[in-house]
Amino acid sequence: MKKKILIINTGGTLSSVAKEHGLTPDITTDSMMKELHIVAGEAELTTMDFMSLDSANIFPEDWAKLAEIISDNRDKYDGMVVIHGTDTMAYTSSMLSFMLQNIPIPVVITGSQLSISDPVADAMENLRCAIFMAQTGKSGVFLAFNRKVILGCRASKVRSISFDAFDSINAPNVAEISSLGMKVNEDQLPKKSGIFHLQNNYSRDIAVVKMFPGMHRSLLNSLAKEGCKAIYIEAYGLGGMPYLKHDFIATIQELVDQGITILIGTQCRFEGSNLNVYETGRRALDAGVIQANDMTTEAAVTKLMWVLGQTNDPKEIRDYFNISLCGEVILQK
C-alpha cells in the first residue's frame, strides 16, 4: 500500500531562483513535482506551499503556525516533509520537536545548499532521504541532510558551504543511507511519553549572551530591564564565567532573586557543560542558574522559548529543564 506523504514548502535555497538582488525563494511545489516524483519512489505525494521565505526571515510565529498545520494534517498522512532554508533549519527542527511532542508520524525537515534548479545541487538527494524517512513510520521530528537523518533537537548547522552542512551534536545519527540502503538506529528514536496534543505556545522574552573576555556584567542588567524573563548564557568551556573584577555571578544571583531564569551552556560545540567541576561553575549553581548540559544552542534557545510559553513560574521552568522532553538532553547524574 502506498504511503501518503505531505510535502510542505516554506522556501529556502532549495526553492530559490537567481534574481537581481541574489537568490530568492520563488519555486512552488507544483513546479517541483517532476523532481519530487523522481525521488519519491512509490509514495503518494501531496504538496502545500505554506510560505516562500529565506529562512533568516522565519520567526517564532511561523513555527507556531507550521506546527498547527502539521497537527491538523497528522491523521491524513503517513509522514510529512518540510522544505526549509538551512540557516535556521536547526532552530525550526528543535522548536517543532517541543511543539509536536509525541506526534505519531515522522515529520522530516530538509533543504539544500543549492537550488533544485541547479544540475549539481544536493536538493534531490536530500529530498529522497527525507521522503524515505517520512515513509518509515518512525514517529518524531527529524532533520535529513547529506544522506543522514538527525533527531530534530540534536541538529546544528556546522558548515556554511559544504553539502555536509549539518551534524548531530552529542548524539548518534538517527539513520544513515549507504549502498546497503537506509539503516535506522532504533535506540536514537525519540521515546513517546504520552498522547499527542499540539503545544505551540511560546514566549519571545528571552535573550542569548555569548561570553567574551572583557564583557561587562551591566549587559545582563540591561536585558532584564528590557523585559527578558530568561537569559541563555553561552559560557566558556564547561560553563565558566568571571567572578573576579566583573563579577558576573553576583549579577546573576541578583537576577535570579528577581525571578529571572538564567540558563548556562557552553560555547563548545561538543560534549556540553558541567558546572560541578570548577569553582566558577559551583558558584553559578549556588546562585541558582540552570544547566543546559549537552543541549545544542538551538535546542537550548527554543526549549527556553517553549517552556516560557507554558509557565512563568521559575520553579516549574527549572523542572522542565530537569527532564528530557524529546531527546534534547542527557542529564548529569
Catalytic residues: 13, 86-87, 157, 278
- Name the grid cell of 249: 555571578
Question: For residue 329, what are the CA distances in angstroms to 153, 288, 293, 299?
Answer: 9, 20, 7, 9
Residues in the chain: 333
Helix (H, G, I), strand (E, B) or coil at 169: coil
Greatest alpha-carbon span in the chain: 68
Q: By the 8 A CB rule, do 73 and 103 touch? A: no
Distance CA 78, CA 157 (A): 28
DSSP 188: G
Query: Quick one: 32 exposed, middle or buried, by C-beta within 10 A (0-12, 13-18, 19+)?
Result: buried
